[in-house]
């Protein structure tokens, strides 16, 4: 005999795709507001996502407004992905275009997850906007596909899993990879990561 809670369990899945390679992602430079194109290799690998995503039905497809995410969506076969401004990358402020190694020369041990980002976003600000994305996804009955950025998608994952946004530090995310979030007996869960 099933209870009402069991019959109301969510079955939807959230598919995450990090954009293809850019010159800055290749060199480890923090990229948020700088609107870089994909490299030739980034375009090639983004196009290969088409085969991996074909045959899956998505009730909603969203993308960050940045060209690297929109172009990845287009090459993967989702040129009509809806732009959602809340999916932009964590705003790195004064650290835009700088590698973690260079930041750590003046701020030893710095990470975006635990330390201030001068003139950038705080974890609370990132959490607020990604909670809006998760609320939007929860309102859709079926699967949702999202094209976005490393730190923002990692933070979105943390919030999906009902964790503090800073717990995104545990989820390494490479360019042009597919990750799938869903449910396991009523609890949010990771079904596939960084594949």
Residues that are catalytic: 19, 89
Distance CA 138, CA 143 (A): 10
Query: How many beta carbons lie within 10 A of that of residue 96, not counting itself?
Result: 18
- According to DSSP, the residues that pair with 82 across neighbouring strands are 62
Cα end-to-end span (Å), the chain = 38
Distance CA 100, CA 110 (A): 7
Beta-sheet strands, E only, within the chain: 14-18, 60-63, 82-83, 144-148, 178-184, 187-192
Buried b / exposed e along 111-147 (16+ C-beta atoms within 10 A): ebbeeebeebbebeebbebbeebbeebeeeeebbbbb
State how far the alpha carbon of 190 is from the alpha carbons of 107, 171, 179, 182, in Å.
33, 10, 8, 6
């Amino acid at each position: 005999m099933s209870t009402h809670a069991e019959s109301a369990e969510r079955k939807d899945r959230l598919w995450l795709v990090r954009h293809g390679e850019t010159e800055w992602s290749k060199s480890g430079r923090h990229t948020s507001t700088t609107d870089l194109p994909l490299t030739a290799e980034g375009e090639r690998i983004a196009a290969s996502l088409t085969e991996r995503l074909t045959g899956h039905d998505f009730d909603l497809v969203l993308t960050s407004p940045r060209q690297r995410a929109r172009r990845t969506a287009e090459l993967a076969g989702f040129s009509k992905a809806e732009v959602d401004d809340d999916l932009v990358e964590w705003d790195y402020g004064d650290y835009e275009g700088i590698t973690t190694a260079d930041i750590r020369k003046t701020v030893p041990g710095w990470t975006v997850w635990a330390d201030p980002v001068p003139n950038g976003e705080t974890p609370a600000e990132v959490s607020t906007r990604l909670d809006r994305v998760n609320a939007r996804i929860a309102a859709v009955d079926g699967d949702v596909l999202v094209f976005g950025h490393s730190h923002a998608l990692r933070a979105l994952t943390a919030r999906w899993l009902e964790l503090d946004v800073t717990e995104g530090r545990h989820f390494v995310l490479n360019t042009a990879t597919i990750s799938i979030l869903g449910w396991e007996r009523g609890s949010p869960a990771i079904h596939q990561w960084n594949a």
